Chains A and B, each alone.
Chain A
Amino acid sequence: MKLRNKSVLKRILKQLKHYKLWLALTVFFAILTVAGTLTVPVLFGQIINLLDFTKVDIIDFKKIFRLFIIIGATVGLTCVTQWLMNIINNHITYNVVKDVRREAFENLQRLPLKYIDSHSYGDIISRNIADVDAYADGLLMGFTQLFTGILTIAGTMIIMLVLNWVVALIILILTPLSLFVAKFIASRTYHLFKATSEIRGEQTAFIDEMIGNLKVVKAFNHESENLDRFDKINSRLTKASLKSIFYSSLTNPCTRFVNSVVYAAVALSGGLMLVFNVSLPIVFNVGILTSLLSYANQYTKPFNEISGVVTELQNAFACAGRIYELIDEQPQKPDSQDSIELKSVNGNVELKNVDFSYTADSKLIEDLNISAKAGQRIAIVGYTGCGKTTIINLLMRFYEPDSGTIAVDGKNILNVTRASLRRNYGMVLQDTWLKSGTIRENISFGNTNATEAEIVAAAKAAHAHNFIMQLPAGYDTEIVEDGGNLSQGQKQLLCIARIMLCLPPMLILDEATSSIDTRTEIKIQQAFASLMNGRTSFIVAHRLSTIKNADLILVMDKGKIIEQGTHKQLLAIKGFYSKLYNSQFAV
Chain B
Amino acid sequence: MRKLLKYLKRYKLQSILAPLFKLLEAGFELFVPLVVSGIIDNGINGGEGGRYIVNMCLVLVALGVVGLISAISAQYFAAKAAVGFSKELRHDLFDKMQSLSYADIDRIGTPKMITRMTSDVNQIQSGVNLVLRLFMRSPFIVFGAMIMAFALDAISGVVFAVTIAVLFIVVFAIILSSIPLYKRVQGKLDDVTAATRETLTGVRVLRAFCKEEEEISKYNKRNASLTKSQIVVGRISALMNPLTYAIINVAIIALLYVGAIKIDSGNLSQGNVVALYNYMSQILVELIKLANLIITVTKSFACAGRVNEILETPIVKTSISDNSATGGHFIEFSNVCVNYGDAEIDALSDISFTAERGQTIGVIGGTGSGKTTLVNMLPHFYDASSGSVSIDGKNVNLIDDGALRAKCGIVPQRAVLFKGTIRDNMLWGKNDASDEEIYSAISSAQAEDIIKSKADGLDEAVEQGGKNFSGGQRQRLTIARAIVKKPEILILDDSASALDYATDANLRKSLKELDYCPTVFIVSQRTSSIKHADKIIVLDGGKMVGIGTHDELLKTCPIYNEIHFSQYEKESV
Contacts and interface: CB of A to CB of B under 8 A. Distances in A.
Given A82-B241, A256-B71, A261 B64 contact: yes
Interface in B485-506: 485, 494, 497-503, 505
A223 B69 CA distance: 44
Nearest to A426: B208
Contacts of A113: 203-204, 207
Interface stretch (B152-160, B215-223, B318-326): B215-223
A516 B199 CA distance: 26
Nearest to B418: A209
A70 B525 CA distance: 87
A514 B253 contact: no
Contacts of B413: 488, 515
A48 B277 contact: yes
Contact of A286 (B44, B97, B241, B260): B44
Contacts, number: 471
Interface in B450-481: 450, 453, 455, 463-465, 467-473, 475-476, 481
A472 to B, nearest CB: 8
A40 to B, nearest CB: 6
Contacts of A209: 418-419, 464-465
B196 A125 contact: yes
Interface stretch (A87-95, A172-180, A402-410): A87-95
A557 to B, nearest CB: 11
Given A264-B60, A431-B471, A517 B87 contact: no
A384 to B, nearest CB: 3
A489 to B, nearest CB: 3
B18 to A, nearest CB: 11
A129 B238 contact: no
Contacts of A87: 234-235, 238
A275 B256 contact: no
Interface stretch (B114-122, B142-150, B329-337, B351-359): B114-122
Contacts of B476: 384
Given A121-B197, A272-B50, A234 B90 contact: yes
Interface stretch (A17-25, A156-164, A579-587): A579-587
Contacts of B71: 252-253, 256
B500 A82 contact: no
B414 interface: yes
A329 to B, nearest CB: 14
A187 to B, nearest CB: 19
Contacts of B99: 223
A271 interface: yes
Nearest to B229: A94
A379 interface: no
Interface in A413-443: 418-419, 422-423, 425, 427, 429-431, 433, 435-436
Interface stretch (B76-84, B161-169, B170-178, B546-554): B76-84
Given A128-B196, A268-B54, A385-B453, A226 B98 contact: yes
B17 interface: no
A358 B467 CA distance: 12
B410 interface: yes
A94 B231 contact: yes
Contacts of B53: 267-268, 271-272, 275
Given A214-B105, A242-B79, A263-B60, A385 B263 contact: no
A422 B231 contact: no
A210 B65 CA distance: 49
Contacts of B227: 94-95, 97-98
Contact of B367 (A124, A246, A516): A516
Interface in A454-483: 467, 470, 480-482
A295 B197 CA distance: 53
B75 A249 contact: yes
A64 B468 CA distance: 81
B63 A260 contact: yes
Nearest to B254: A68
A580 B500 contact: yes
Interface string B178-214: 0000000000010011111111111111111111110
26 contacts: A53-B263, A59-B263, A68-B253, A82-B242, A83-B242, A94-B234, A98-B223, A102-B220, A108-B199, A109-B212, A210-B98, A223-B95, A227-B91, A271-B50, A384-B472, A385-B472, A388-B470, A423-B210, A480-B109, A481-B109, A488-B414, A489-B368, A514-B525, A522-B566, A579-B502, A584-B505
Given A223-B98, A446-B209, 5 more contacts: A90-B238, A209-B418, A234-B90, A274-B44, A584-B528
